[in-house]
A and B are shown apart, each in its own frame.
Chain A
Amino acid sequence: MKRHRYLPMTAQDESDMLAVIGASSTEDLFADIPASVRYSGELPMSGALDEAGLLRHLRALSDRNADADRHVSFLGAGIYDHHIPVVIQHVISRSEFYTAYTPYQPEISQGELQAIFEFQSYICELTGMKVANASMYDGATALAEAAALASGATKRKRIVVSRAVHPEARDILRTSARGQGLEIVEVGCADGVTDLGALAAAVDAETAAVLVQTPNFFGCLEDIPAIEALVHDRRGLLVTSVNPLSLGLLESPGALGADIVVGDAQPLGIPMSLGGPTCGFFAVTEALMRRMPGRIVGQTTDSEGRRGFVLTLQAREQHIRREKATSNICSNQALLALCASVYLSVMGRAGIREVASLNLSKARYALGRLGALPGVEIAFPSPIFNEFAVKLPAGTDVAAFQAKLLAAGYWGGYDLGRTYPELSGHLLVAVTERRTREEIDGFVQAWEASL
Chain B
Amino acid sequence: MSGHRDKALIFEMSKPGRVAYSLPACDVPEVEASSVVPARLLRTEPAALPEVYEVDVIRHYTELSRRNFGVDNGFYPLGSCTMKYNPKLNEDAARLPGFAKIHPYQPEESLQGAMELLYTLQRDLAALTGMDEVTLQPAAGAHGEWTGLMLIRAYHESRGETRTKVIVPDSSHGTNPSSATAAGFETITIPSDASGLVDLDALRAAAGADTAALMLTNPNTLGRFESQIAEIARIVHEAGGLLYYDGANSNAIMGIARPGDMGFDVVHLNLHKTMSTPHGGGGPGAGPVGVKARLAPFLPKPVVGRRGDGTYYWDEDRPRSIGRVKPYYGNFGILVRAYAYIRSYGPAGLRRVSECAVLNANYMMHRLAPYYEVAYPGVCKHEFVLSGKRLRAFGVRTLDVAKRLLDFGYHPPTVYFPLNVEECIMIEPTETESKETLDGFIDVMIRIAREAEEEPDLLLQAPHTTIVKRLDEATAARRPVLNCHCE
B412 proximal to A (CB < 8 A): yes
Residues of chain A with a CB closer than 8 A to B134's CB: none
Q: How far is the CA of A39 from the CA of B153 in the complex (A)?
A: 30
Stretch at the interface among B140-148, B203-211, B386-394, B451-459: B140-148
Question: B363 touching A102 by the CB < 8 A rule?
Answer: no
Determine if B241 is an interface residue (Cβ-Cβ < 8 Å): no
- Give Cα A115 to B85, complex, Å: 23
A140 close to chain B: CB less than 8 A: yes
Q: Known: A44-B127, A110-B468. Contact between A6 and B412, CB under 8 A?
A: no
**Is A371 interfacial (CB-CB < 8 Å)?**
no
Q: Are B153 and A21 in touch, CB under 8 angstroms?
A: no
Is A271 an interface residue when CB atoms closer than 8 A count as contact?
Answer: yes
In the assembled complex, the Cα of A110 lies from the Cα of B110 at a distance in Å of: 43
Question: In this complex, what residue of A is CB-closest to B438?
Answer: A17
Judge if A355 is at the interface, Cβ distance under 8 Å: yes
Indicate if B156 sits at the interface (CB-CB under 8 A).
no
A342 near B61 with CB under 8 A, answer yes
A346: shortest Cβ distance to chain B, in Å?
4
Interface centre among A221, A328, A354 (most CB of B within 10 A): A328
Quick check: A355 and B65 within 8 Å, CB to CB? no
Alpha-carbon distance between A341 and B476 when the two chains are bound, in angstroms: 23
Pick the contact of B257: A37, A89, A348 (CB < 8 A).
Answer: A37
Contacts of B317 in A (CB 8 A): none
Chain A nearest Cβ from B346, distance in angstroms: 3
A201 to chain B minimum Cβ distance, whole angstroms, is 24
Distance between A260 CB and nearest chain B CB, rounded to angstroms? 15
Which A residues touch B225, using CB under 8 A?
Answer: 32-33
The total of chain B residues at the interface (CB under 8 A) is 208
- Cβ of B253: which chain A residues have Cβ within 8 Å of it? 33
Contact of B9 among A63, A118, A252, A350 (CB under 8 A): A118
Pick the most buried of B102, B351, B482: most chain A CB atoms within 10 A of its CB: B482
Report yes or no: B345 in contact with A65, Cβ–Cβ below 8 A. Answer: no
- Is B86 a contact of A305 with CB atoms below 8 Å? no
Considering only residues 329-383 of chain A, those with a C-beta below 8 Å from chain B are 329-336, 338, 341-342, 344-355, 357-358, 360-362, 364-365, 383
Chain A 310-330 interface residues, beta-carbon cutoff 8 Å to B: 310, 312-315, 317-325, 327-330
Q: Considering the complex, which residues of chain A in the window 250-288 have a beta carbon less than 8 Å from any beta carbon of chain B?
A: 250-252, 271-277, 279
A361-B26, A414-B105 given; A112·B326 CB < 8 A: no
Minimum CB–CB distance from A222 to chain B (whole Å) comes to 9
The answer to whether A310 and B284 touch across the interface, beta carbons within 8 angstroms, is no
Whether B37 and A433, one on each chain, are in contact in the complex, defined by CB atoms closer than 8 angstroms, is no
Q: In the complex, what distance in Å separates the CA atom of A308 from the CA atom of B3?
A: 10
The reply to whether B187 and A98 contact each other, CB–CB distance below 8 Å, is: no
In the complex, which residue of chain B has the Cβ closest to the Cβ of A55? B89
Any A CB within 8 A of the CB of B158: no
Q: With A66-B110, A275-B327, A383-B38 in contact, is A329–B142 under 8 Å at CB?
A: yes
8 A-B pairs closest in CB distance = A275-B328, A48-B346, A62-B98, A64-B113, A99-B70, A111-B68, A335-B280, A277-B284
Task: Using A65-B102, A328-B143 as known contacts, list a sample of 15 further A-B pairs with CB atoms less than 8 Å apart, ordered by residue number in A.
Answer: A4-B344, A38-B257, A45-B342, A96-B70, A118-B9, A118-B10, A137-B140, A274-B99, A276-B328, A277-B332, A299-B476, A302-B471, A325-B181, A330-B175, A336-B283
CB-defined A-B contacts under 8 Å, sample of 30: A1-B345, A17-B359, A21-B359, A28-B379, A43-B350, A51-B89, A63-B113, A96-B66, A99-B279, A101-B76, A102-B282, A140-B327, A141-B143, A172-B327, A179-B149, A273-B332, A276-B284, A277-B284, A319-B174, A322-B178, A327-B182, A328-B146, A329-B143, A334-B283, A336-B283, A345-B60, A358-B23, A364-B31, A411-B103, A414-B105
